[in-house]
Amino acid sequence: MERILETVAMTGPISDIYGSRISEWKNRELQLSSLHEEIVGKRESHLNYSVAYSQKRAKRMQTTELVDIEKARQRNEKYLQDILLISENLKVDECNPISPRLATLQIQKLYMI
């Protein structure tokens, strides 16, 4: 850009015609350059924020998953204990004879069908 200005300045009357335009273009180029730098800075800031947020979220999710896994393990353990208890109760009930009243009701039901 500097070379163009020097070349135009050497040419004499042409510099009067285009000098003001080149000055305007140079000012505009400087404005655009500073805006570009500002945008790049903001973009970098947002990118850093996004990376930090993603890392925090991943860490939270990992912690939450560990808690959920532990809760599921405890729940499954309780279910297994319930199943074992029911199984034992069924074995005990299997050994006991049925009451005479229940036997009578079963026979009456069979005759109704």
pLDDT exceeds 70 at position 96: yes
Under the banding of pLDDT at 50, 70 and 90, the label for residue 14 is low
What is the tally of structural domains in the chain? 1
Helix 2-11 / helix 13-95 crossing angle, nearest 10 deg: 160
**Spatial contact of 29 and 12, defined as CB atoms under 8 Å apart:** no
Instruction: Read off the amino acid at residue 79.
Output: Y
Q: How far apart are CA 19 and CA 10, in angstroms?
A: 11
Residue 97 is given by DSSP the state: P
pLDDT in tens, 30-89: 999 999 999 999 999 999 999 999 898 888 888 888 788 889 999 999 999 999 999 988
Which of 2, 68, 51 minimizes the C-alpha distance to 29? 2
What are the structure tokens assigned to 36, written together? 């570009």
Query: In which domain, by residue range, is 18 found?
Result: 2-112
